[in-house]
Amino acid sequence: MSRSRQSVITRAIAAASLPICVGIATLGIPAASSQQPDESSVIQHIDAAVKARLDAIAQYTVTEHYAVYRNKDEASPAAEMTVKTTYLKKTGKSYSTTSQSGSAILLKEVLGTILENEQRMSQPGNRESAWITSANYQMKIKPGGNQSIAGRDCIALDIIPRHSTTFLFTGTLWVDSKDYSIVQLEGVASKSASFITGPAQVSRQYATVSGFPMATHAKAVSTSFLLGQTIVKIDYQDYQTQLAPTK
């Protein structure tokens, strides 16, 4: 075969291969992404990452803004509340309300109940039951579990509570594939937080603050005969953290 004919064939093969290569690059799928991560190793790393966060954070403060919407209207909140939250590792959370407006029943029965439950859950002896660890959840990596969330390479896992509480969810957990910190959670609460609403569909996003994941946004959607559909949105801002001394 002449050299000129070989050159033509080589260029033709390269041209035919180009769409495949471009498709892979556009999708951002590395060659190793087809390999499923080792599930037991991933779960062990998640447990370790959760424990490291809890051990490291001695206290923090954050401003939380709550907005309640009714009947699919997410433009005009029926009730709003802003609180300054203080977390102390020794005692848990406490709240100071800085502003509130809107429906008295929603402020008391919905937002008040949420804050009371969060406060109780954060106390030593209770908080362990809400940790996102294998002690509280059955975890299984989803098929094709490598996904991108907010520009971060993540592993997606199906999670099922081992017991029923308002703080555990059946759904999907995304963790950072490098440090196994929590990036996002979506699911349905295994138990309702309020007697006037049903179990909530919850989503929660996290960002790294002082080296550890902290909630930045959350949304809970519930339905009941009394209130119809209720949507609660929470925004977390201005974290001030204090880490425990390293041993």
Sequence-separated (6 or more) residues with CB below 8 Å from residue 246: none
Strand positions, DSSP E, 71-112: 79-88, 92-102
Do residues 237 and 62 lie in contact, with contact meaning Cβ atoms separated by under 8 Å? yes
CA angle 150, 213, 114 (to 5 degrees): 100
Strand partners, 228: 224
pLDDT tens per residue, range 21-76: 333 233 333 333 456 789 999 999 999 999 999 999 999 999 999 999 998 889 99
The single-letter code of the amino acid at 3 is: R
pTM of the model: 0.81
Helix, strand, coil percent content, the chain, rounded in steps of 5: 30, 45, 25
Cα distance between residue 69 and residue 213, in whole Å: 27
pLDDT tens per residue, range 146-156: 899 999 999 99
Work out the number of other CB atoms within 10 angstroms of the CB of residue 70: 17
